[in-house]
Structure 1
Amino acid sequence: MNAAAPDARMVEDVNPATGHAFFSIAETDLSRMPAMMADARQAQRLWAAKSFKERATHIQRMRRYIVEHAEQLALTVSQSNGKTRTDALATEVLPCALACNWYAKHAASVLKPRMRPAGTLLFINKRTQMQHVPLGVVGIISPWNYPLSIPFGEIVMALMAGNAVLLKVAAATPAVGRAIEDIIAAGDLPPGLFQHVVGSGSKVATAFFDNGINKLFFTGSVNAGKQLMAQAAATLTPVSLELGGNDPMIVLEDADLERAANGAAWAGYQNAGQSCGGVERIYVVAPVYDAFVQLLAAKTRAMRHGAGHDNFDVEMGSITTPGQLRTVQQHVEDALGKGATIAAQSQPTGSATDAGLFYPATLLTDVSDDMITVCDETFGPVIAVARVADEEEAIRRANASNLALTSSVWTRSNKRGRAIGARLESGVTTVNDHLYTHGLSETPWGGWKESGIGRTHGPEGLLEMTQAKAINWDMLPSKRNLWWYPFDETTYKALLNALRFVFPRSAGEWLRSSLALTPFLVKKMFTGWKTD
């Protein structure tokens, strides 16, 4: 599925936990992009002609492959990304199987044609059907933090909606791209319908735009997203952007502190903190601040970080790229220089060595809003906890960010949690949980502000993979509409009567306008425009 030139440059996949390369793949020859696009369009026309039930059959074959090869897939993700095998199985492999099942079963009901009710008696003769037609060829540029589950969910949505897919995975995780090829091959799709592109993200994006990609789905940094959006503007190519998050967690005085501390540890340190929807900032009301910090510190110290591809007795793996490790280090150094305190860190275990890109799970207290780790996305295993006077201060500080992807509220009252959640500026708010909704196929994923535009997952994600199309027709045959030529004073008065018929100021006006309008309508409908 990867069209490489004979002398193509090889891209290596290096396990960030060991520093050792374990896989290599050739870069795609981008001069072949016009031919790849032509193949995709030809296959897409055949695929779009299939029923939802027929498409679902292919998707369910992929699900069976995922289930049968779950352990190998988890190992590949762990080696490529650095997360533990347990983490890979829970947050990457399992969601992929769930996605196959949900979209295969529900795409037809979400995307089926629907009749649109008439909005006024004036158009009682008109009928409208809303259709959702495939976009054509969809481009997906995916990140290294969830190299399997993020692109695969979008692939399944695109396929069930009737599209072809060109996928470019992150340069840091090419082995997962090959694993996705194997999953897709199990689905026995028409040749050319899915193609894996290997190479520089900017060069591949340019090739996509130059060759008429119908829509681009990108997950990555805010800056890269802005550059792609500017590039897409030249051809008005639609984009869906899932960018960054600096996600807040609010702990109220009536929270179950044990659950809150457990949830914070998982959602803040999972995937070595490299989750755009993970906890980065925690605002705890003063009465329970000390107790909460004590609990979270104990759990942080109890955590073990190390190579998770060959050791199940470890909670957290490595950072994925050297650049991201430097960012995490710089953010913590900045915080410490401005008065923050390291309240607790995890301990190395097993084969956590100098060769790996490891950074301990780190709990920061005494934080202030001028620290980079508070006001920007750290994207590492660092949690900053701040004391607030009450829920109003917590809401205000939680919303004081240019990023708005997810948030959470922790309270024993679901009613109170939902009420506060409605005031938080984020695409997703969870009560007494965090981060997990990315794994719910039925729940939309996406954010506000600079966290991006568009949605993936759920019905909203399926709709993003289509063009909305209205089909309108007359129930009864007619020669002319009310507002068609020729014009004369009678036409003008008829339009006035139509307005007063729809919006009468009295019962008498309604009766007079309807009596005056009816014969004119009948004449328009059944008499042609005589031009002799």
Structure 2
Amino acid sequence: MNQFVTPNAKTVTAVNPATGDVLGEALQTPEDQYASIFRQARQAQKVWAKQSFAQRRTHLVKMRNYIRDHAGDLARLISDSNGKTRMDALITEVLPCQLACDWYGKHAAKVLAPERRGPSSLLWIGKRSEVRYEPLGVVGIISPWNYPLSIPFGEILMGLMAGNAIVLKVAAATPLVGEAIEDIIAAGELPDGLFSHIIGSGGKVSTAMFQHGIDKLFFTGSVPTGKQLMAQAAETLTPVSLELGGKDPMIVLKDADLERAANGAAWAGYQNAGQSCGGVERIYVDESVYDRFVTLLAERTKILRHGVPNDECSVDVGSMTTANQRLTVEKQLAEAVDSGATIVAQSKGPEHGEGHFHPATLVTGVNHSMTLMREETFGPIMPVMPFRTEDEAIELANDSPMALTASIWTRNTRHGKALADRVKGGVVAINDHLYTHAMSDVPWGGPGESGIGRTHGPEGLKEMTKTKVVNWDWLRAKRNLWWYPQDRESYDAIRQALHLVAPKSTMDFLKSVVRVLPTMIRKMYF
């Protein structure tokens, strides 16, 4: 790990969004050190790539143990930096990171092992291939403030186990969590220069990443910023993996367990003050159970304890992370109410004061003409609509350019799985929502404006590699049939070979063998 410190460097101030208290300062990385960071990363990666998967795993075990031993401190720092509750920080950030150390450490060798492939046709009878997954080189990661530890750390682990060097840029709102990641990596005792954390302007850092030739960029954030980075990456043909927006629907069927559905909606919609790209943003409920569901969810919304997170875990919903995001949420809600929506229930908590608080809010009377139902809200607002038929529910759920996650709630799992085929989404859960981001063994990401590529799971590991095919011929012929000199006899043999691949009958196949083999043997070996 590299830390770059200059006495006169500018600093970034970290503030607790729930209280306004200053948490500390982090030194910005001087821009004149960027070139050195990328140069050292590339040098260190060449050495790291030669280590076996077992050797790389030993470093992850040390990181895992550090996370285990400092779980409480990490949860508190994340909570204070982001505004989420201690429980949210522990269960959605710290625990997934420890689990990720285990899974990637144990499974990377198998996932990224070379794959032997035999001939795909009789025409390639002598050919053999091996598909290899080689390290990319230097991977850039730009991460968000809503999950400042678990999002970048999982990608760091995938990159390291695949044999890459990592250059990380965390969100400006949570710089101290970036420094905590440095501490975790330091506990892993990686080679110098293999991991670096740059603190600075997002635009300047991303530009530096492309200018200094990173081999791939992993970005998590907004759709507009993702599009800007993709355009910037096009100038150098740098591949990107983008995890962007979510406007995730929840469909409640008439046979659903309404108690579970209401409990699940409350958690997946209000958790992290609604600042989860994979959280519930829209709910569609069968009209026959609509009133009952709204009553249940309203009860759960009203009793939520809303306030400043604390070590006693006496708060269910904390503050939002930034003032701008809170204003976005307030604007969407106000527009919906002006257009006829009704606020059914809200949690009670402190006034704004020094914190970026917004109450958990349940809204009915909404429709798809409202911004609240079309654009990502990223806040603790839950709009609910009734539907008459399942076809209507599917149509409403799919009426969005974003398709990160979705959920279907029903007692009939088989029916839920069948409906999942018709719902757009990178993840469609049955009777649950959001939690799969913590599962290291399954991919995360979605189509459309939810992004490009996948992280997590075998798919995420392979995103951290470049594919190479090594091909050879065990027949050891002097020449291939189609090599020079070309003549009519070779041409006719290849024409007959088409019947070997797609014979009209068994007799046609046998005739083709008789016509092709003698020419092949004569032309290739004599």
User: What interval of TM-score do these two structures reach, taking the shorter chain for normalisation?
Assistant: over 0.9
Question: Is 1:485 aligned with 2:484?
Answer: yes
Partner residue in 2 for 1:83: 84
Partner residue in 2 for 1:433: 432
- 1:200-215 maps to which residues of 2 (within 5 A)? 200-215=201-216
Q: Secondary structure at the match of 1:347?
A: coil
Q: Secondary structure at the match of 1:217?
A: strand
Question: Is 1:456 aligned with 2:455?
Answer: yes
Runs of 4+ with deviation above 3 angstroms: none
Q: Which amino acid aligns with 2:420?
A: G
Deviation of 1:362 (Å):
0.4
CA offsets, 1:171-214, max 9 Å, x none?
Answer: 00000000000000000000000000101111100000000000
Q: Distance in 1 between matches of 2:75 and 2:523?
A: 69
- 1:344-383 maps to which residues of 2 (within 5 A)? 344-348=345-349, 354-383=353-382
Q: Secondary structure at the match of 2:196?
A: strand
Deviation of 1:521 (Å):
1.4
Partner residue in 2 for 1:472: 471
Q: Secondary structure at the match of 2:271?
A: helix
Partner residue in 2 for 1:502: 501
Partner residue in 2 for 1:331: 332
The answer to whether the 8 A contact 1:260-1:410 is kept is yes
Q: Secondary structure at the match of 1:245?
A: coil
The answer to whether the 8 A contact 1:300-1:362 is kept is yes
Q: Distance in 1 between matches of 2:187 and 2:523?
A: 60
- 1:1-400 maps to which residues of 2 (within 5 A)? 1-348=2-349, 354-400=353-399
Q: Secondary structure at the match of 2:249?
A: strand
Q: Distance in 2 between matches of 1:466 and 1:104?
A: 16
Deviation of 1:478 (Å):
1.5
Question: Is 1:517 aligned with 2:511?
Answer: no
Deviation of 1:353 (Å):
5.8
Q: Secondary structure at the match of 1:447?
A: coil
Q: Distance in 2 between matches of 1:277 and 1:423?
A: 18
Q: Which amino acid aligns with 2:412?
A: S
Partner residue in 2 for 1:412: 411
Deviation of 1:31 (Å):
2.4
The answer to whether the 8 A contact 2:122-2:500 is kept is no
CA offsets, 1:154-178, max 9 Å, x none?
Answer: 0000001110000000000000000
CA offsets, 1:303-345, max 9 Å, x none?
Answer: 0111114441110110000110110110111111101111000
Deviation of 1:122 (Å):
1.2
Which of 400-409 and 474-483 deviates more? 474-483
Q: Distance in 2 between matches of 1:46 and 1:324?
A: 43
CA offsets, 1:124-143, max 9 Å, x none?
Answer: 11100111000000000000
Deviation of 1:372 (Å):
1.0
The answer to whether the 8 A contact 1:82-1:309 is kept is no
The answer to whether the 8 A contact 2:118-2:127 is kept is no
Q: Secondary structure at the match of 1:128?
A: strand
Q: Which amino acid aligns with 1:160?
A: M
Q: Distance in 2 between matches of 1:522 and 1:336?
A: 81
CA offsets, 1:262-294, max 9 Å, x none?
Answer: 000000000000000000100001000000000
Q: Distance in 2 between matches of 1:197 and 1:482?
A: 56
Q: Distance in 1 between matches of 2:260 and 2:512?
A: 67
Q: Distance in 2 between matches of 1:378 and 1:102?
A: 33
Q: Secondary structure at the match of 1:304?
A: coil
CA offsets, 1:380-409, max 9 Å, x none?
Answer: 000000111121111100000011100000
The answer to whether the 8 A contact 1:83-1:309 is kept is no
Q: Which amino acid aligns with 1:17?
A: A
Q: Secondary structure at the match of 1:179?
A: helix
Partner residue in 2 for 1:530: none
Which of 475-484 and 290-299 deviates more? 475-484
Q: Secondary structure at the match of 1:368?
A: coil
Structure 2, unmatched stretches of 5+, are: none
Q: Which amino acid aligns with 1:116?
A: R
Which of 3-12 and 85-94 deviates more? 3-12
Deviation of 1:7 (Å):
2.2
What is the root-mean-square deviation in Å for CA atoms of aligned residues?
A: 1.1
Q: Which amino acid aligns with 1:470?
A: V
The share of aligned pairs that are identical, in percent, is: 59
Deviation of 1:32 (Å):
2.0
The answer to whether the 8 A contact 1:256-1:412 is kept is yes
CA offsets, 1:348-387, max 9 Å, x none?
Answer: 16xx761111110000011111111111110000000011
Deviation of 1:524 (Å):
2.9
Q: Distance in 2 between matches of 1:489 and 1:525?
A: 15
Q: Which amino acid aligns with 1:114?
A: E
Deviation of 1:4 (Å):
4.1
Deviation of 1:510 (Å):
2.1
Q: Distance in 2 between matches of 1:476 and 1:490?
A: 21
The answer to whether the 8 A contact 2:104-2:158 is kept is yes
Aligned residues: 525
Q: Distance in 1 between matches of 2:466 and 2:25?
A: 38
TM-score, with normalisation over the residues of structure 2?
Answer: 0.98
Which of 517-526 and 391-400 deviates more? 517-526
